[in-house]
Every structure is written in C-alpha cells, then in structure tokens.
Amino acid sequence: MQLAEIAQALQIESQPAWEDIIVTSVCFDSRNLEPGALFIPLVANNDGHDYVQSAIEKGAVATLWQLDHQEQIVDLPQLLVPNSLQALQKLAKYYLNKINPQVVAITGSNGKTTTKDMTAAVLATQYNVQKTQANFNNEIGVPLTILAMEPHTEILVVELGMDHPGELTVLSELVEPDVAVITMIGEAHLEFFGTRDKIADAKMEIVTGLKEDGVLIYKGNEPLLQERVAKISQESLTFGMDEAVLVDYQAEQIKSDGVQTRFMIKNHNTPELTIPLMGEYNVANALAASAVGEYFHITGMNLQKALREFALTKNRTEWVSGKQGARILSDVYNSNPTAAKEVLKTIADLPVVGEKIVVLGDMLELGTQSAQLHASLAEVINADEISQVYLCGEMMRHLGEVLADKMPAERIHLYDVTDKERLLADLQKEIKSDDLVLVKGSHGIHLEEIVAGLAE
C-alpha cells in the first residue's frame, strides 16, 4: 500500500510525499525487518522505539510512532499515533476489510495449532488460503497474520490464543469470523482463570465477532460448551469421539499403526481418511477440520488428500529418529494435563520391541492446582507398559511421589530444570536402538534441547 493510504486508514493527515512511498510489509522486530517495511515499535519489556535506527539500516521506509515518544529525532516518515499496538490492530482491520476473505478462527485449550494446519490444508485444495504462521495467535500475532495476506486470499485461517479474560473478545472482533472453532476445554492457563468454567467462558468469547450467519464448530461431548452454545443465535455443528453423545461429525473404525491413523466419519459420504499422526485426540482435530471443509464444500477426495499430506507446525507431535535408532515422539511445544494424558494413553497402545521410556517436563500456568494435576498423570502411566520415567521440573516431583507407589524407585528419575545436561547424558546411556521414547513438556521447560541431543 501507499503510505498515504495507511495514513488514511489510521485517520492521520497525509503528506504529499507519502503518495510515492510504497510499503510492502510490516514489522515490529528490527532484526527481522525487510526492505520496504513499515516499522511498528511496540512498548513492552523492551521499547521498540529504541531500535528505530536498526530498522532504518535494514530498509524501513516509514514508522508508526507513539505520541509520547516525539522527543526522539527520527530520520524516517512518521505516522504519529496514540498507541502503536492499537494502530497496528486498526491497520490490520482496514486491510482485512480491503481483501475481504472469509475467515475461519480456531481456538481451544489443546489442538488449535494442529487443527489450524489441517483446516488450512483442506481448504487450500480449492481456495487461496492464508494461515497463521508459527504461534502468531495473540494481540500482536493476529494483526501481523492479517497484514501478511496476499491480495488474492479467499480464506484466512487464523489461530486465536488467550491467557486472560477479554483477549479473545478483542481478537474475535478484529477478525469477525465466518466460522469459529473451539477444539476443546482443558486445564491450560488455570493459573489465570482458576476453574474450567471460567476457561469455557473465555473460549466462548470467540463468538463475540462471529457473523450473524456464521457457524460455531465445537466438541459436542463437553458439557461446559453445550450449555453456553445454547445461548447463541448462530448455527452450531459438533464433532467428537464419544459414541454416547450424538454429534454431527463422529469418528468410527479408528485404526492406528503408531505413525498414522485411519478413520471414517459416521453417516457422511466421505472416503476413509488418514492423518499422519497418532492418537484419538488428533482424530478429533481432523473431525473439526472436516466440518470446516464440508462447510466450504470441499470434495471428499480433496479432504482425504489434504489430511493425508498436511504439514504440521514444527515442535508439535512429531516422530524423530534417535542416534541409536530409537523412535522418539517429540511433543515439546506445550503441555497440560489433558494433552499429556492423551499422549500417554496413546503411547501405551503402541507396539515396541524394546522398552517404552517417558520424559516429562513441568506443565506451566496451572496455578494452585498444579501439584494435584501433575500427580494425576499417574492415572495413565502403566508400570507394566512404561519401563522408565524421567521427570524434569519442580512440579513433576509430585508425579514422582505418586508413581513411587506403582513402580520401583529405580525406574523413576528426577531432575531440576537446570539439570538437563545430566538428564540428557542419562538418557543417552539408557536408550537402545529398539526403544520408544516420549518427550513432552511445556515450552518454557525447553525439552527441545533434550530432543536435539537424542536426535540423529
């Protein structure tokens, strides 16, 4: 866009010279800035205004600039705004309306990134699709996702995250979805919300901006969602795995070989579907993506091909080959009790020649219930199936105490977060070529360092 058009979008008086300045991208981090960018300095732990010289050197052509920083002299066209983050969001709203794609917004305690990747792949078989990259799902990431859209984008698949009440309201009103998806309600962010009821309230904020003729797609066997969805005026569709609960998209004939999972959708005229992932929780994500696909009239053959071949965002559940030849299941981007139990149950069902070894890191942001929720993972750790358990972090010690009643102490290994070097060394000594290893923990524990050390 011309800088003059950006000024108009932000209701700033334009200057004649701005007609000739073309902005090709936006960027808030001067380290990643490309020539032609509009530099947007944000005020957080670091003040982006302090890095404007770096942005100029990288090729920025203009900058938003907060009024309270006017004393700084900047050799760059400036669009003066009261708040640079709000101006970023306002510009994103303008651009979204200009391109005018249909919008699919996805949130949930678990599975939102995988569902986003699946949904985008399904829709891309018949439409020009843009999706959230990496984890750009917050008040900064969502507007940047919007502003990264190509002009020919027909559908925007956007992931919406949240860690405090009201955040999804802002994001939903920004993107105004045609389709909203809630993957599930779990225990993520209990530290901030206190109860699952309040988490459900926060997730339902996604309907705030949902168009009147839009549709909400959600997990049908979640009572906390059922009672809240009953109060909205928009259409709703359900998906799920629980045969006791009637849903619109029900998986059946589920078969998994530990690398991929095949299933059918009950009472739907679609072929057998395959996803390159294991676990019923990923089948549920695929059901949500299938529901979105059917809403947009994706053919059964295209649905089948997309789910079979879709690319998963890095550091989500992925198989890694170990140096000794062992199979390593890496799931180190995030963790909470629901997700951890699901993957532990799935691991228990997988065939293995050698031993099954589990490496678990602390699950963060669980608040006052953290100790109890960590200990609850013992419910799904079968001492006959799991040979060794390696626990990393202060909270995982609570799980270790409970496990001591289920398995010999020499099979339970405890480590501080600062002691990952010893953890890696012990694992390298223990793991053999025919073993299966699960590594799971919250991103803040950085168990990706362990995966990197074990990988070939």
The 10s digit of each residue's pLDDT in 110-169 is: 889 999 999 999 999 999 999 999 889 999 999 999 999 999 999 999 999 998 899 999
Lowest mean per-residue pLDDT among 9-23, 209-223, 305-319 = 305-319
Give percent of the chain above pLDDT 90. 79
114 among the known binding-site residues? yes
Distance CA 240, CA 238 (A): 7
Where is pLDDT greater, at 236 or 278?
A: 236
Residue 371: pLDDT band with limits 50, 70, 90: very high
| pLDDT higher than threshold 90 for residue 336 | no
Average pLDDT over residues 272-291: 94
Average pLDDT over residues 22-39: 96
54 among the known binding-site residues? no
Each residue's pLDDT tens digit, 139-155: 999 999 999 999 999 99
Give the domain ranges of the chain. 3-83, 101-309, 318-454
131 among the known binding-site residues? no
Each residue's pLDDT tens digit, 169-182: 999 999 999 999 99
Select the CATH number that applies to the domain covering 318-454 from these four: 3.40.50.880, 3.90.190.20, 3.40.50.620, 1.10.10.1110: 3.90.190.20
Q: How many CA atoms lie within 13 A of 421 on its CB side?
A: 1
Average pLDDT over residues 398-407: 95
Give percent of the chain above pLDDT 70. 98
Distance CA 375, CA 397 (A): 8
Distance CA 139, CA 161 (A): 9
- Per CATH, the homologous superfamily of domain 3-83 is MurE/MurF, N-terminal domain (3.40.1390.10)
112 among the known binding-site residues? yes
DSSP collapsed to 3 states, the chain:
CEHHHHHHHCCCCCCHHHHHCECCEEECCHHHCCCCEEECCCECCCEHHHHHHHHHHHCCCEEEEEHHHCCCCCCCCEEEECCHHHHHHHHHHHHHHHHCCEEEEEECCCCHHHHHHHHHHHHCCCCCEEECCCCCCCCCHHHHHHHCCCCCCCEEEEECCCCCCCHHHHHHHHHCCCEEEECCCCCCCHHHHCCHHHHHHHHHHHHCCCCCCCEEEEECCCHHHHHHHCCCCCEEEEEECCCCCCCCEEEEEEEECCCCEEEEECCCCCCCEEECCCCHHHHHHHHHHHHHHHHCCCCHHHHHHHHHHCCCCCCCCEEEEECCCCEEEEECCCCCHHHHHHHHHHHHCCCCCCCEEEEEECCCCCHHHHHHHHHHHHHHCCCCCCCEEEEECCCHHHHHHHHCCCCCHHHEEEECHHHHHHHHHHHHHHCCCCCEEEEECCHHHCCHHHHHHHEC
111 among the known binding-site residues? yes
Give the CATH class of 101-309: alpha beta
Amino acid 446: pLDDT = 95
Average pLDDT over residues 294-308: 97
User: Can you give the pTM of this predicted structure?
Assistant: 0.86
Average pLDDT over residues 301-312: 94
Average pLDDT over residues 389-418: 96
Q: How many CA atoms lie within 13 A of 311 on its CB side?
A: 6
211 among the known binding-site residues? no
Query: Is 320 within 8 Å of 455 (Cβ atoms)?
Result: yes
Amino acid 132: pLDDT = 95
109 among the known binding-site residues? yes
Average pLDDT over residues 265-285: 92
Residue 422: pLDDT band with limits 50, 70, 90: very high
| pLDDT higher than threshold 90 for residue 51 | yes
Distance CA 379, CA 400 (A): 12
| pLDDT higher than threshold 80 for residue 258 | no
Amino acid 189: pLDDT = 67
Amino acid 153: pLDDT = 98
Alpha carbon separation from 418 to 154, 336, 337, 361, 444 (Å, rounded): 47, 21, 23, 12, 12
Average pLDDT over residues 439-448: 94
By residue count, the chain amounts to 456
